[in-house]
């Protein structure tokens, strides 16, 4: 298998009008990744070294997106929509390069398991010309039936064309195919359009190959592998299936999910063993968590790196660039963005740390913020090792708080503070006896006057 070359032809030209969106259907996301990118990843995992994307609606937008998730893929535009075989032939130049195997996939089936593709490729390696990936369902209504005789697939019959006996078949067409590269163009070029819609159907190659004495078989995969997305309801269904798979994978790898159904992963979430994730946690793209961390309830994390034995939340928000080192703590209602929180440092509650470094062992009091933005540019705050920043302090960047420095509560710090220094940045308190009563009486009189 590893010696066989493989091309995946991914059909992604559908307009997706039922999505009710200006965005091409296959660019709608599952777990933070366009659904077509999931298909590309599955193809790559199955050994398809090259990809051909057949695009149509939103072609330029598709090219820009593909440059991120499939930078080496060739794009081919299907100018007219004349059926699935016609769509595959849009990639004729790629197919003609002489691959051993050609996988035909759909950009709106994001749950395809690489294992199903590998099983189909194994059949090609055994000399089969066409492999159709099917699924079984107790309710086959609406699906094309796979007609088999003596272990070989002889036809794919659309339900409206099925006999009463064929309607009872529960083995259905999943749409995905693997075709021997040496036969692919010969079979595709033989497909005609003598049907009610005047279209060229990919499924016709089954009967064409059988008539030529070539071996055609069907392999079986779960229904999820063939689940196509046509509307937002189905998109949500696919998201649910993907998340359930990922949660199970995480728990089997040693991660504790206290309420698994409430935790949402991204396509690239990395999470180490012995990490505990409490309910209602959302992981966006780019999150890496080492072993033994604890993520408390209702935290929102994206683009962040969390080292071993860190403690996050509850209700914490880690934005892109947040980098928590070993045993760091970011507590409830705290936000960290583009900042390093070094080993053992604590950012406990109601605090914003942005464009900053919090040194090892430092303690940031409640309500502290780094004032990093002046409306035009971002500036850096450096907080030294072992520093103590009192509650409700504002650190106006650019500013440096030295090692072991102490910032008095309620301070506005606009100048750098040396190591081990104490800094006050607030007005001295003044108390005027009786003035409070005087103010209350004045305010009450003014309010009463307004009501008259």
Q: Residue 172 falls within a domain, yes or no? A: yes
Q: What is the pLDDT of residue 197?
A: 81
Q: Residue 355: left if φ>0, alpha if ψ -120 to 50, beta else—which one?
A: left
CATH number of the domain within which 77 lies = 3.90.550.10
Q: 1 pLDDT band (50/70/90 cuts)?
A: low
Give the DSSP letter string of 355-383: EEEE-TT-EE-TT-EEE-B-SS-B--EEE
Where do runs of H (alpha helix) occur along 215-371? 232-252
* SS3 of residue 167 by DSSP: helix
Q: Residue 19 falls within a domain, yes or no? A: yes
Please say which residue of 184, 203, 226 terminates a domain: 226
Q: Residue 234 falls within a domain, yes or no? A: no
Instruction: Retrieve residue 281's tokens.
Output: 């946690």
Altogether, the residues listed in the chain come to a count of 452
Give dist(CA 201, CA 331) in Å, integer: 58
Q: What is the pLDDT of residues 8-54, one digit of tens each?
A: 999 998 777 889 998 889 999 999 999 999 999 999 999 999 999 99
Q: What is the pLDDT of residues 296-305, one digit of tens each?
A: 999 999 999 9
Q: Residue 437 falls within a domain, yes or no? A: no
Q: Specify whether the CB–CB gap between 125 and 136 falls below 8 A.
A: no
Q: Residue 69 falls within a domain, yes or no? A: yes
Cross-strand partners of 12: 55
The residue ranges of DSSP E strands in 158-307, in sequence order, are 171-180, 216-220, 256-257, 270-271, 276-277, 282-283, 288-289, 294-295, 300-301, 305-306
Measured in whole angstroms, how far is the alpha carbon of residue 145 from the centre of its chain? 33
Single out the catalytic residue among 28, 38, 57, 349. Answer: 349
Does the pLDDT value for residue 2 go beyond 70?
no
Q: What is the pLDDT of residue 427?
A: 82
Q: What is the pLDDT of residue 59?
A: 81
Do strands 130-136 and 50-55 pair parallel, antiparallel, or not at all (unpaired)?
unpaired
- What's the mean pLDDT in 408-420? 96
Q: What is the pLDDT of residue 430?
A: 87
Instruction: Retrieve residue 138's tokens.
Output: 């107790």
Domain ranges, residue 316: 240-423
CATH number of the domain within which 300 lies = 2.160.10.10
349 flagged as catalytic: yes
pTM for the full predicted model: 0.89
Q: Residue 107 falls within a domain, yes or no? A: yes
Q: What is the pLDDT of residue 426?
A: 86
Number of domains in the chain: 2
Does the pLDDT value for residue 137 go beyond 80?
yes
Give dist(CA 193, CA 204) in Å, integer: 10
Residue 108 exposure: Cα atoms within 13 Å on the Cβ side:
20
Q: Which of 17-26, 202-211, 396-405 has the lowest mean pLDDT?
A: 17-26
Q: What is the pLDDT of residues 74-97, one digit of tens each?
A: 999 998 888 999 999 999 999 999
* SS3 of residue 182 by DSSP: helix
Q: Residue 392 falls within a domain, yes or no? A: yes
Q: Residue 365 falls within a domain, yes or no? A: yes
């Amino acid at each position: 298998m590893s010696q066989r070359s493989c091309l995946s032809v991914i059909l992604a030209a559908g307009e997706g009008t039922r999505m009710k969106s200006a965005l091409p259907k296959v660019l709608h996301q599952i777990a933070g990744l366009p659904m077509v990118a999931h298909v590309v990843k599955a193809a790559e995992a199955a050994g398809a070294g090259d990809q051909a994307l057949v695009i149509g609606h939103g072609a330029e937008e598709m090219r820009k997106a593909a440059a991120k998730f499939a930078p080496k893929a060739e794009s081919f535009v299907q100018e007219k929509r004349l059926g699935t075989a016609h769509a595959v032939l849009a990639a004729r130049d790629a197919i003609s390069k002489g691959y051993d195997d050609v996988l035909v996939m759909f950009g709106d089936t994001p749950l395809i398991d690489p294992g199903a593709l590998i099983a189909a490729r194994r059949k090609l390696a055994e000399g089969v010309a066409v492999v159709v990936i099917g699924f079984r369902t107790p309710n086959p209504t609406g699906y094309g039936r796979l007609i088999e005789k003596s272990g070989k697939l002889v036809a794919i019959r659309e339900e409206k064309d099925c006999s009463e006996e064929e309607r009872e078949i529960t083995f259905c067409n999943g749409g995905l195919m693997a075709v021997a590269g040496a036969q692919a163009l010969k079979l595709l070029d033989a497909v005609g359009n003598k049907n009610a819609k005047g279209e060229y159907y990919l499924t016709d190659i089954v009967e064409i190959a059988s008539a030529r004495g070539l071996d055609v078989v069907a392999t079986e995969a779960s229904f999820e592998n063939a689940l196509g997305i046509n509307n937002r309801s189905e998109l949500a269904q696919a998201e649910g299936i993907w998340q359930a798979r990922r949660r199970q994978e995480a728990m089997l790898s040693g991660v504790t999910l206290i309420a698994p159904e409430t935790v949402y992963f991204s396509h690239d979430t990395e999470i180490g063993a012995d990490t505990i994730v409490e309910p209602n946690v959302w992981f966006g793209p780019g999150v890496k968590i080492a072993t033994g961390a604890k993520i408390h309830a209702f935290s929102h994390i994206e683009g962040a790196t969390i080292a071993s034995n860190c403690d996050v939340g509850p209700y914490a928000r880690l934005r892109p660039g947040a980098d928590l080192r070993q045993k760091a703590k970011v507590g409830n209602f705290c936000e960290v963005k583009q900042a390093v929180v070094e080993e053992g440092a604590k950012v406990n509650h109601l605090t914003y740390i942005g464009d900053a470094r919090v040194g090892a062992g430092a303690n940031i009091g409640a309500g502290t913020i780094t004032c990093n933005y002046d409306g035009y540019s971002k500036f850096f705050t450096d907080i030294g090792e072992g520093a103590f920043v009192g509650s409700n302090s504002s650190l106006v960047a650019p500013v440096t708080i030295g090692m072991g420095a102490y910032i008095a509560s309620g301070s506005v710090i606009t100048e750098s503070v040396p190591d081990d220094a104490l800094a006050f940045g607030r007005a001295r308190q003044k108390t005027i006896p009786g003035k409070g009563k005087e103010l209350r009486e004045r305010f009450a009189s003014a309010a009463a006057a307004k009501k008259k």
